[in-house]
Amino acid sequence: MTEQHLTSNKKSPTLRKLVYDLLFNKENPEGFHQLFERAIVFVIVINLAALLAETIPILYESRERQFHLFDVVSVVIFTIEYLLRLYVAPEDPAFQSGRYPRLKFAKSPFAIIDLIAILPFYLSAFFNLDLRALRALRLLRLFKLLRAFYPAVVDFMVINRDKTLRQKVYAIVNETPNSGKLHETFDFFIVLWVLISVACVILESVNSINYHFHVEFIVIDTIAVAIFSTELLMRLYSCTEDPKYQHWLAGRLNYSRQVTTLIDILAIAPFFLESLLDHLFDLRFLRVFRLMRLMKLARYSDATKSLFYVIQREWPVMKASIFIMLMLVMLAACLGYLFEHEAQPDKFENIPQSIYWAVITLASVGYGDISPVTPAGRAITIVLALLGIGIFAIPAAILSSAFSDQLRIERETMKQELYEMLGDGKISPEERSIIDAEAKRLHLSKAEVDRLLEKAKIELGLVPHPEQKGHTHHDLHHAHGHHESHRPAMDLNYLSKHPEAAGEQFKILLAQLQQLAHSVDHERLNQYLSDKKHATDFQMETWEYIAKQTKKSP
C-alpha cells in the first residue's frame, strides 16, 4: 500500500502538469490554450444569445425543453473548466507561491466569477428560486469574458504607459507595435457587430420575422450604430498620429475622404438621416443601404486590400478589356434589335431592351426570358455565346494572374526584408514581431517563416549549409565539379576559414562569368550596366575586362 501510494503521488503531479501545459499554459506553443479559451468564449456568447432569445415568447414557449437542455450543457462545460483550473492551480505561477495554491486560486477574482456563473444552477436544485431571478443571475456568466479581455487591457496599459490618450486610441484602432492583443479584441468586436447588424437587416426584410421581432431589430440597430459611431469618432480623433494626416483639420479632412472612412460613414448615415428627416421625407428606402456595413469587413481583410491594389495596378489593361466588352455588347444589342424587332416587338422593343439580352447571352447565363426566333437572330446568338466565353473571361484571367503575381512579389519583398534584418546577424524581438505581422498578412505559417529565416541565414553565410558540415575542401571541390548546377549557397563563414575551398569557389564563379560572356548579348548588357543606377564603375570595368578576355580565348 505504501509503495502504491508513493507511486500515485509521483504520477499525479505529472498528469497535473500535462493538463496545465495543454490547456492553460500561455507559454507552451504546442498546447491548446488559445483554442480552449476561444471555445469557452464561444459558449459564453451563445449563452448570451440564448438569454436574449428566452425573452421572446414565440421562441421560448415552444422550445422550453431545448433551452433548458442547452443551459445544462453550458453549466457542465463551465463546471469542468472550473474544476480543471482548481486542479492545476499548484502548477500556475500565479498561485504556486502560496502554501495552499488551490485556496489562493479559489479566492482570486476570476475564480469567484467562474463559481458565480455556475452556482445559481446548483442552488436551484436545493432552493425554490424564482425562475426570473435565476435567469437574471445567469447574466453573471458574461463576466467570464473578463478572463479573455482583462489580460489584454493590462498588457496594453503596460506597453503604452508613457503614451498620450490619442496615441493609445490610435494603437487600439490601428495595428501598431504597441497595439498588443487589445487591438485584435477590438477588431473582433467590430467584425462581430457588423455580422450581427447585417444579419438583422436581412431578416428584417422577411415580413413574418419582422412582425415578431420588430422592436428587437430596432434595439440591435441602435446599439450597432452607437458602436460604429464610436469607432468612427475614435479613428477621426487619432488619425493625426499617422504622418500622412498630421494637421489637426486638413489631416482629418483628408482621412475622411479615404474609401474605408467613407464606408464607415455610409454604415451609420441611414440611421441618422431617417431619424432627423423622417418627418419631411419618406426615407425608408435608406434602410437597404445599411447593408453597406458589410463592406466594413474589407478593412480587416488583407486579401481584399491586395485585390484593390491589384485592380489599381492592372486598371489600364482592365479598361481595355472592359472597352472591348462594351463594344461587343452594343454591337450585339443593335444586331439583335435589327433581326428580332419585327418578329418580337414586345421583347426586342428597343435597343436598351436588347442590351439586356446581349449581356445575358455574352455572359453565358441564358435565362431564357428573351430568346431569338429568326434564323439570323439565332445565328448571331451562337456567335455571341462563343465570343462571350473568351471575352468575359479576360478580366477574370487578368485579376487571377495579377493577384498571384502580387502575392509572389509581396513574399519576395518579405524575403528581402529578412536579409536586411539579418544584416547584424540576429533577429531582435521588434523585428520578430514585424516578421510575424507580415507573415500573418501573407498567410504564411510559422514553419514557412522559420524555413525562410533558415534559408536567409545560409545564403548570408551566418550558418553552414547542412550539406557542407564536416566536408573537406576536397569534398567541396568534388561537389562543385560534379554538381555545379545544384551547388549549395556560399557559406562565407566556411570559405573564410578554408582558403583552398575559397579558391575553388572563385574559379567556379569566374567560369560562370565566362559562360555568361559567351551567351549574353554584349551590346544590350553594356547598355544596361552603363547606367549608374544598375552597376558601379568597378562592376562595369570588371565586366568589360571579362568580355575582352572571353573574345580573345579560342
Same fold, 13-148 and 160-300: yes
Cell numbers that stand for 1 in this block: 500500500
Closest residue by Cα to residue 199 from 229, 221, 232: 221
Residue 303 has pLDDT above 90, yes or no: no
Per the CB < 8 A criterion, the answer to whether 234 and 244 are in contact is no
Domain boundaries along the sequence of the chain: 13-148, 160-300, 315-391, 411-463
Between helices 393-421 and 446-459, what is the axis angle to 10°? 60
pLDDT of residue 89: 92
Whole-number Å distance between alpha carbons of 307 and 296 = 15
Per the CB < 8 A criterion, the answer to whether 21 and 84 are in contact is no
Q: Is residue 494 very low, low, confident or very high in pLDDT (cuts 50, 70, 90)?
A: low
Which DSSP symbol is given to 520? S
From first CA to last CA, the distance across the chain in angstroms is 93
Q: Is residue 361 very low, low, confident or very high in pLDDT (cuts 50, 70, 90)?
A: confident
pLDDT of residue 482: 42
Per the CB < 8 A criterion, the answer to whether 336 and 355 are in contact is no
User: What is each CA distance from 271 to 231, 356, 449, 492, in whole angstroms?
Assistant: 16, 35, 45, 66
Provide mean pLDDT across the span 539-548: 81
CATH architecture of 160-300: Up-down Bundle (1.20)
The class level of CATH for 315-391 reads mainly alpha
Number of Cβ within 10 Å of residue 418's Cβ equals 21
Which DSSP symbol is given to 346? T
Between helices 33-54 and 146-159, what is the axis angle to 10°? 120
Q: Is 160 helix (H, G, I), strand (E, B) or coil?
A: coil
Higher pLDDT, 317 or 286: 317
Which DSSP symbol is given to 397? H
Residues 6+ apart with CB under 8 A from 95: 89, 101, 102, 104, 105, 108
Residue 22 has pLDDT above 70, yes or no: yes
Place of cell 549608374: 532
Provide mean pLDDT across the span 415-435: 75
Higher pLDDT, 471 or 439: 439
Residue 553 has pLDDT above 60, yes or no: no
For the chain, the residue count is 554
Between helices 165-173 and 146-159, what is the axis angle to 10°? 130
Kindly report which listed range (219-228, 241-250, 417-426) carries the lowest average pLDDT score: 417-426
Three-state helix/strand/coil letters over 362-411: HCCCCCCCCCCCCHHHHHHHHHHHHHHHHHCHHHHHHHHHHHHHHHHHHH
Whole-number Å distance between alpha carbons of 413 and 91 = 44
Kindly report which listed range (66-75, 438-447, 449-458, 485-494) carries the lowest average pLDDT score: 485-494
CA 503 to mean position of chain CA atoms: 49
Per the CB < 8 A criterion, the answer to whether 277 and 287 are in contact is no
What CATH code is assigned to 13-148? 1.20.120.350
Whole-number Å distance between alpha carbons of 289 and 392 = 29
**Residue 280 region by backbone torsions, left for phi larger than 0, else alpha for psi between -120 and 50, else beta:** alpha
Q: Is residue 23 very low, low, confident or very high in pLDDT (cuts 50, 70, 90)?
A: very high
Percentage of the residues of the chain whose pLDDT score is greater than 90: 24
Kindly report which listed range (257-261, 309-313, 380-384, 548-552) carries the lowest average pLDDT score: 548-552
Kindly report which listed range (2-11, 241-250, 488-497) carries the lowest average pLDDT score: 2-11
User: What is each CA distance from 444 to 322, 437, 529, in whole angstroms?
Assistant: 34, 10, 36
Q: Is 392 helix (H, G, I), strand (E, B) or coil?
A: coil
Phi, psi of 175 (to 5 degrees): -80, 115
